[in-house]
Amino acid sequence: QLQLQESGPGLVKPSETLSLTCSVSGGSITSSSYYWGWVRQPPGKGLEWIGTIYYTVNTNYNPSLRGRGTISVDTSKNQISLKLSSVTAADTAVYYCRLHVSLLENAFDIWGQGTVVTVSS
């Protein structure tokens, strides 16, 4: 069973770039059935999809990010990364790494435990 662990700086200054890493253990991250993504949750609010990467290079992002997000896969390190540029206080949230597995017979998710990111000077 794959396990996901997010890591990154807990505090980022406004206008800087937030960089997070999702380290995957228990198996390879490459499969045509895998859809890797990031989801965030601002304090006291609901879940917000950030973006997805599949087939290692295809990406989709939430339009509300206005082009600030980049998700990539490093197969040599078994990691998925998220970069979010020009951050503001509105980007303060718990950030989750999520794997959606879509098989012929079923589909399921695996989530990391989340990492707290605060944007503040």
Instruction: Find the binder of another protein among 109, 117, 118, 120 (CB under 8 A).
Output: 109
Strand 107-111 and strand 93-102: the pairing is antiparallel
Task: Find the angle CA(5)-CA(51)-CA(40) to the nearest 5 degrees.
Answer: 55
**Residue 37 binds to another protein (criterion: CB under 8 A):** yes
> Which amino acid is it at 12?
V
Count of positions on this chain that bind another protein (CB under 8 A)? 23
- Binder of another protein out of 49, 70, 78, 92 (CB under 8 A): 49
Nearer to another protein, 12 or 35 (CB): 35
- State how far the Cα of 106 lies from the Cα of 87, in Å rounded to an integer: 37
In whole angstroms, how close is the CB of 88 to another protein at the nearest point?
20
- Is 1 a binding residue for another protein by CB under 8 A? The answer is no
Number of H helices, E strands in the chain: 0, 11
| The one-letter amino acid at 25 | S
Chain residues binding another protein by CB under 8 A are: 35, 37, 39, 46-49, 52, 54, 58, 60, 62-63, 96, 102, 106-109, 111-114
